[in-house]
Amino acid sequence: MKSSLEQLADLIGIETTYSDFWGEQKTVGEETLRELIIRMGYAASTDDEIEASLLALEESRWSNVLEPVIVIPAEQQNKHVLTIVLPEGSQNKILHCAITEEGGAQHHINIAVSNMRVEEEYWLKGRALCRYQFTFSWHLPVGYHTLSASFERTRSTIELGKTTLIVAPRRCLAPEELNSDKMWGLAAQLYSLRSDNNWGMGDFGDLKKLVQLAGKKGASSIGLNPLHPLYSGNPAHCSPYSPSSRSFLNTLYIDVAAAVEQAQCVPAQKLIKSTRFEQALSRLRLTDQVEYTEVAACKNQVLDCLFDDFCETQLGRNTPEDKAFKRFCREGGTALERLAVFETLYEHFRALDHTAYGWQDWPAAFHSPESEAVKTFATEHARRVSYFQYLQWIADSQLSAAAEQACESGMTLGLYLDLAVGCDGGSAEVWSNPELFVSGVSVGAPPDPLSLVGQNWGLTAMSPLALRDQAFMPFVRALRSNMRHAGALRIDHVIGLMRQYWVVPGQAADAGAFVRFPLEELLRIVALESRRANCIVIGEDLGTVPDGLRDLLSEAALQSYRVLYFERWESGLFKRPETYPSQSMVTVSTHDLPTFAGWWLGRDIDARETLALYPRESMNIEDRRARAADRDTLVAALIDAGVLTPERTPPQNPPQMTDELLVAAQRFLASSPGRLQLIPLEDALGVTEQVNMPGTVDQHPNWRHRLPVEVDELFEHKDLKQVLKAVVEERPSPESSVNPVNYEEDYLH
C-alpha cells in the first residue's frame, strides 16, 4: 500500500518508481519526492502537512466551475461532453453557455441544470457542490475557442467561469501527404558555416546560400540546430539547447552586411570599411572555432549604428519599413516586449556586475516583469527596448528570406528547425512567466550508456499543472514560432511530452524522478499546429523510451528519430536498412554523438579519457574493446546490405576512415524506407571533432567548431560529392513540391 507521501506524489504527477535503460526497477527516494512536491507548491515536510496537502488537492478539483482548458478530438464533433461544478440548489436554473470561436463567430446555448447528469457531490467549507455533466452538439471548427458559463436572471447575469476549448486533429501533417517519396537533406550547425561574407560564424545569409546550392542538388531540406535566442549580453553562453526563450531568434545569426546593404546606411558602411574593422573581420573569418564574444562585439557596433539610422530615417515616418516593424511588434505582442525588456535589463546589470548571469542575480525589485521597478526601467530605456525588438525583426526577416529561397529552390520541406526541450533557469522565458516553472528544479535524464551517472541539463522544469492552468498557450506559442518558417520541426526529447526527468537542486542526476505530462492533449496540439503551418514533425525519441510511446507518436504521425549507432538487435548486430520504419527520419549521428569518422576512429573515447569523464578507470578499455567489435559488426551489415564490398573493407588495426566507408554508411541509410534522411555536414566531410560532448561545459569546445570548407565550395568537396551521388541514386529528387493541406478536411484521416 502506498504511503501518504507516495499518494500525494502520484496525484500531482510524480512517479515513485521507474524502469531504467537496462530494465531495472528504480524507486525514487523519499527526500527527492518531498523536495519535488514542495517545489510544486504543496507542503510535505511533515505527515500533517502531507495530509493537509492531500485535502487541498482534493478541494482544488472543486474550486473551479470549469476546467481551465478542454481539448476536444476533432473527429468527435457530434457530441461534446463537458463537466461543470455548481452549488447545490442550482437544479431549477438555466445554464447559459456562450461560445466565441477563434475567428470571432459566437454561439449561445441554454441548458436546464435539471437535465444534466450529476457525476459526484462534495462538501467544501460547509457548502454542497455537484459536478454535472452536460453535452452539446455544436460543430466547432478546428482551433482555439472560448466558452463562458453564466446564470441569466431577469435583470442581471451571474458569471460562473470560462474555459478554452481546443478542437484538434488526431494526426500531424505526414510526409506522404506532400506528394513526395523518400527525401533527403543536409544537417548544419548554422554557426559552423564558413564564407567570405560572414563575420566569423555562419549567419542567415550563409543559410540562404546553402539552401540555394542544396536545392539545385535535389535536397528536400536543410536541418538546423535550434535558432532560439540566447543572451545578447553574454555571447559566451552559446549552447542552442539552453536558450533564453523558445519563441524568438538568436540575433547573433543576423547577416549584418546584408542588413547594412538593404538599409543603405552610410555610417554603418563607413564603419565596416575602416581598416581596424576589416582587420578584425579577416582574423575572425580564419578561426577554426567561433569566437562568440568577439563576433558579437563586431556585430553589435554595426547593429547599433543601423538602429540609430532606422530611428532617424524610418521610425515614426509611416514608411514601409516603419509599418513593417510596427506590425512585427504588434504580432509579437507581450512576449516580444518582455523579451526586449529582459535583454535591456540583462545588458544593464551585466555592465554593473559581469557575474550576473541571470535574472536571479538582479536586485529583487526587478525579479518580476510586472513590478513597478521594471515598468519604470522599461519606460526610461524605451529606445533600447525598441532596439532589441528591432533586432528580432531583422532576424525574422532574414530567416523568412531563407525559407522563401528554399521554396524557390524546389525543396519539398525547406527548413527543418529544432525546438529545444526547455529554457535556461536565468532566462527571459522563466522571468516572464515564473508561475509556469518549478523554481530550482532542472530537467535531465537518468543514467544510460551516454551518461552512466545521469544528466542534469540545467533547464528549469515546466509545471504540467501550471501549463494546463494557462490553457497550454506557452506550448502553443513555442510551436507556432518555430513552425513559422519551417517545413519540418524536430521536437527535442519528445519523451518530455509524456514525462520528464526532474533533478532536485543539490542532488546527483541519478537521484531524480519522472513527472507525468498530458501526452494525449499535447500531441493533439502538435497536430493542430502542424497542419496549420503545413509542417511535418519529427520526435527525437532516443534514450529511455517508455513502453508504448513510439506507438502513440506513430498514431499521431510524428516521425521517429532513428540513428544508425542505436539501431541494433539485442545481440548487438546492426539492423538492416529494410527494418527501419517508413515513418522515420534516419541519420548516422547527432550533435551529442561522435561524428561518423570520429566514432570509427574512437575520437570520442580519446576525449573522454583526456577529460576524465569515465567513472571507472577500466571503462575506457571496455569501450575500446566494444568499439572494435562495433566496427566489425557495422562492416558486416554494410557488406550484407550490398553497399560495401569485402575487398574495400577499411583497415581496423589501427582503424582508418576511408571514402568508401563514408559513402557506404550513407547509402545504407538511404536505402531504408525512412521518409527523410538527414546527412550531417560533419559526417559528409569526414570531420572527426564532436559538435557537443555531453557532460562538459568548458572542457570541450562545444558548439564552436567551424566546418573546414566554405559554403560556396561545399558541393565541390570530393567526399560530399560522393555521398550525395550515392544518396540520390537511392532517393531520386522529387518532381513535385509541397501541396498545402487543408487541416480541417484532413483531420479524420
Cβ atoms of 170 and 75 within 8 Å: the answer is yes
Q: Any bridge partners for residue 676, and if so which?
A: 183, 585
Please compute the mean of the pLDDT values over residues 91-105 and round it to a whole number: 93
Cβ atoms of 746 and 692 within 8 Å: the answer is no
Cβ atoms of 362 and 350 within 8 Å: the answer is no
Closest alpha carbon to 58 in 119, 124, 132? 124
pLDDT above 90 coverage of the chain, percent: 86
Q: For residues 182 and 318, what is the distance between their CA atoms, to the nearest angstrom?
A: 48
Q: How far is CA 747 from CA 144, 488, 542, in A?
A: 15, 19, 28
Model confidence band, residue 444 (pLDDT cutoffs 50, 70, 90):
very high
Tally the C-alpha atoms within 13 A of residue 667's C-alpha that lie toward its C-beta: 21
Closest alpha carbon to 502 in 421, 558, 577? 421
Rg value, the chain, Cα? 27
Helices (H), 106-153: none
Per-residue pLDDT, 531: 98
Q: Any bridge partners for residue 70, and if so which?
A: 165
Strand 127-136 versus strand 584-587 pairing type: unpaired
Q: For residues 672 and 666, what is the distance between their CA atoms, to the nearest angstrom?
A: 10
Closest alpha carbon to 678 in 116, 182, 20? 182
pLDDT digits (tens, 9 = 90+) for 139-155: 899 999 999 999 987 67
pTM here is 0.94
Closest alpha carbon to 205 in 244, 242, 260? 260
Per-residue pLDDT, 120: 92
Q: For residues 614 and 621, what is the distance between their CA atoms, to the nearest angstrom?
A: 10
User: Grid coordinates in use for 242?
Assistant: 539552453
- Choosing among 3.40.50.1970, 3.50.50.60, 3.20.20.80, 3.40.50.2300, the CATH entry for 199-411 is 3.20.20.80
Please compute the mean of the pLDDT values over residues 197-214 and round it to a whole number: 98
Model confidence band, residue 173 (pLDDT cutoffs 50, 70, 90):
very high
Q: For residues 354 and 347, what is the distance between their CA atoms, to the nearest angstrom?
A: 10
C-beta neighbour count of 47 within 10 angstroms: 11
Q: For residues 490 and 418, what is the distance between their CA atoms, to the nearest angstrom?
A: 5
Per-residue pLDDT, 81: 85
DSSP 511: G
Per-residue pLDDT, 2: 87
Cis peptide bond N-terminal to 654, omega within 30: yes
Q: Which residue shows C-alpha cell 447575469?
A: 157
Cis peptide bond N-terminal to 650, omega within 30: no
C-beta neighbour count of 331 within 10 angstroms: 9
Per-residue pLDDT, 468: 97
pLDDT above 70 coverage of the chain, percent: 97
Kindly tell me if the per-residue pLDDT of 136 is higher than 90.
Answer: no
Asked whether this chain's domains 69-168 and 199-411 adopt the same fold, the reply is no
Residue type, 688: T
DSSP 693: -
Angle at 406 between CA 405 and CA 410, to 5 degrees: 110
What is the separation, in whole angstroms, between the first and last Cα of the chain? 44
Per-residue pLDDT, 743: 38
Q: For residues 204 and 207, what is the distance between their CA atoms, to the nearest angstrom?
A: 5
- 137 against 541, higher pLDDT: 541
Per-residue pLDDT, 266: 94
DSSP 715: G
Kindly tell me if the per-residue pLDDT of 736 is higher than 50.
Answer: no
Per-residue pLDDT, 735: 52
Cβ atoms of 197 and 175 within 8 Å: the answer is no
Kindly tell me if the per-residue pLDDT of 34 is higher than 50.
Answer: yes
Quick one: angle between helices 204-216 and 382-408, nearest 10? 10
Kindly tell me if the per-residue pLDDT of 82 is higher than 80.
Answer: yes
Please compute the mean of the pLDDT values over residues 666-686 and round it to a whole number: 98
C-beta neighbour count of 258 within 10 angstroms: 18
Q: In this structure, what is the dihedral angle of CA atoms 80, 81, 83, 84, given to the nearest 10 degrees?
A: 40
Q: For residues 486 and 499, what is the distance between their CA atoms, to the nearest angstrom?
A: 26
Q: For residues 243 and 343, what is the distance between their CA atoms, to the nearest angstrom?
A: 13
Q: In this structure, what is the dihedral angle of CA atoms 86, 91, 92, 97, given to the nearest 10 degrees?
A: 50
C-beta neighbour count of 583 within 10 angstroms: 18
pLDDT digits (tens, 9 = 90+) for 513-549: 999 999 999 999 999 999 999 999 999 999 888 989 9
Model confidence band, residue 21 (pLDDT cutoffs 50, 70, 90):
confident
Kindly tell me if the per-residue pLDDT of 656 is higher than 50.
Answer: yes
Q: How far is CA 381 from CA 289, 384, 520, in A?
A: 35, 5, 44
Q: How far is CA 533 from CA 483, 485, 494, in A?
A: 6, 9, 19
Q: For residues 431 and 216, what is the distance between their CA atoms, to the nearest angstrom?
A: 44
Kindly tell me if the per-residue pLDDT of 391 is higher than 90.
Answer: yes
Residue type, 134: F
Per-residue pLDDT, 734: 55
E strand residue ranges, 33-105: 69-73, 80-87, 94-100
Please compute the mean of the pLDDT values over residues 69-94 and round it to a whole number: 88
Per-residue pLDDT, 748: 39
**Is 2.60.40 the CATH number for 69-168?**
yes
Q: Any bridge partners for residue 259, and if so which?
A: none
Domain residue ranges in the chain = 4-60, 69-168, 199-411
